[in-house]
């Protein structure tokens, strides 16, 4: 099974459905072999992802994907990590969690210029802007505000 060939086929399908590929890998859960395809886009409803799963299953013949594998198409989740500068830029205006060696913050990402993030945090009812260097980040992800 050649994951690069499968990835190219999946990319063509995702393009038609306005989705981007986050990752593709094989894994084993509860003794079952799974081709895990993580996608992102504006429409991540279960109906849409189910339709995409069906399209992929119809194209991946037995000579491309071992028939013992299940196909799993899912989103990266509500608290997905922001792995690239482009992903961080796309999160401007959203609620995030960011952590460096010196501090961590949860708040709205107001701006990102490629080197510095501006996160608006709430300290005891007062809004404060916190500047964090992108190079200092240990972690940044979308967060859910309660």
Q: Is the pLDDT of residue 32 over 90?
A: yes
| d(C-alpha 37, C-alpha 41), whole Å | 13
pLDDT of residue 116: 96
Q: Is the pLDDT of residue 1 over 90?
A: no
Q: Is the pLDDT of residue 6 over 90?
A: yes
pLDDT of residue 119: 97
Retrieve residue 57's tokens: 């299953």
If asked whether residues 55 and 32 sit together in one domain, one would say yes
| d(C-alpha 118, C-alpha 54), whole Å | 41
Using a pLDDT cut of 90, give the percent of the chain over it.
Answer: 79
Buried b (16+ CB within 10 A) or exposed e, 68-96: eeebebebbeeeeebeeeebbeebeeebb
Q: What is the pLDDT of residues 61-110, one digit of tens each?
A: 888 898 899 999 999 888 989 989 999 999 999 999 999 999 999 999 99
Please report whether residue 79 resides in a domain.
no
| d(C-alpha 95, C-alpha 27), whole Å | 31
Please report whether residue 8 resides in a domain.
yes
| DSSP state letter for 31 | T
Range of the domain at 60: 3-74
pLDDT of residue 98: 96
Q: What is the CATH number of the domain that holds 135?
A: 2.30.30.180
Query: Global pTM?
Result: 0.70
If asked whether residues 26 and 56 sit together in one domain, one would say yes
């Amino acid at each position: 099974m050649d994951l690069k060939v499968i990835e190219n086929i999946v990319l063509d399908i995702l393009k038609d459905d306005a989705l981007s590929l986050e990752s593709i890998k094989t894994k084993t859960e509860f003794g079952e072999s799974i081709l895990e395809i993580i996608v992102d886009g504006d429409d991540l409803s279960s109906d849409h992802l189910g339709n995409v799963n069906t399209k992929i299953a119809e194209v991946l013949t037995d000579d491309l994907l071992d028939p013992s594998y299940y196909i799993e198409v899912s989103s990266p989740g509500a608290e997905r990590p922001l792995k690239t500068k482009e992903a961080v830029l796309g999160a401007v205006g959203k609620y995030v969690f960011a952590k460096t060696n010196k501090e961590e913050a949860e708040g709205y990402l107001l701006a990102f210029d490629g080197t510095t993030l501006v996160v608006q945090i709430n300290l005891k009812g007062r809004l404060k802007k916190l500047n964090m260097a992108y190079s200092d980040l240990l972690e940044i992800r979308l967060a859910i505000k309660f």
